[in-house]
Amino acid sequence: MKKYLITRQYECVQFKDLPEGLKEKIICEHYEPLLWDICWWDWVLERFKEDREEEGVIVETDKICFDLSYTHGQEVAWSGYLYDAFKFLETWKDQKTKKILTTVMERDGLEAIAKTGSGCYQDVLVKEHLYQEDIEEICEDLNVTEAEIESALDEFEAVWEHYCKEKAWELLSTLEKVYEDELREECINEFYEINNIVFDVKTGKSFLLDEGAQVIEDTEVKEG
């Protein structure tokens, strides 16, 4: 069987100089898959984690998942838990309720867990671990009633659930914005220029630019 060396020449230009039709083709077939390969979202999730830690909440970034496709419906889910009651309750306006909750949490009497998904938000958990003797001691120490403790716990549960939902939507909104920015033509141009990637003006085939050459030769072996 004979083998043939076939050499083709391609006239290549930067992405910004391509016809619009080829640009759309390259974005869909080359640029967008590449974005997902390089995990464009990593810094967004890390920032989300850092911001939540400042509020007293630990985020498990390895359990965050999201979908930005309009076909399946955009959604995001995140998991975490409250680890610092003082930080989380720092801006709480009702001082009596704040004091009750911090006292309960100091006794490890309350566990707040976030397992959210944008849509149903199931499994947003607040677990109470108080024994009757704990409640009686808190009542005596703070001069409050059992009803006031129960009311404070109910209020916290509502606030925690709202917080988890709100942060999920904030994260989804940030991810959408960052992804849209990544798809701006200025960003795409910059990406290909920095990485010295050029394209054939007829087919859109990509090449690494070789010392500013505009005509690139590509050789392949065929058997026949």
Please give the full DSSP string across 34-57, using - where no structure is assigned.
HHHHTTTTHHHHHHHHHHHHHTTE
User: What type of residue sits at position 95?
Assistant: Q
pLDDT at 167 (0 to 100): 92
Q: Counting runs of H as helices and runs of E as strands, what totals does the chain give?
A: 8, 9
pLDDT at 76 (0 to 100): 86
pLDDT at 144 (0 to 100): 94
Domain that holds residue 134: 3-223
Q: Is the pTM of this model over 0.75?
A: yes
Question: Beta strands of the chain (E only): which ranges?
Answer: 3-13, 57-59, 65-67, 75-82, 110-117, 125-128, 197-200, 206-208, 215-223
User: What type of residue sits at position 164?
Assistant: C
Residue 71: CA count within 13 A, CB half-sphere? 0
pLDDT at 86 (0 to 100): 86
Contact by Cβ (8 Å): 73, 67: yes
pLDDT at 4 (0 to 100): 58
pLDDT at 72 (0 to 100): 54
Q: What is the mean pLDDT of each run of 10 residues along the chain (224 residues)?
A: 65 90 92 91 95 94 83 75 89 90 86 69 70 91 93 92 90 93 93 90 83 54 53
Could you tell me the two tokens for 202?
């007829």
pLDDT at 210 (0 to 100): 64
SS3 content of the chain, % helix, strand, coil (to 5): 50, 25, 25
pLDDT at 127 (0 to 100): 81
Report the candidate in 78, 101, 76 with the shortest Cα–Cα distance to residue 175: 76
Q: DSSP for 102-118?
A: HHHHHTT-EEEEEEEET
Long-range contacts of 48-53 (CB under 8 A, 24+ apart): 48/78, 48/167, 48/171, 48/174, 52/80, 52/167
pLDDT at 70 (0 to 100): 61
Name the domain count of the chain.
Answer: 1
Reduce the DSSP state of residue 19 to 3 states and report it: coil
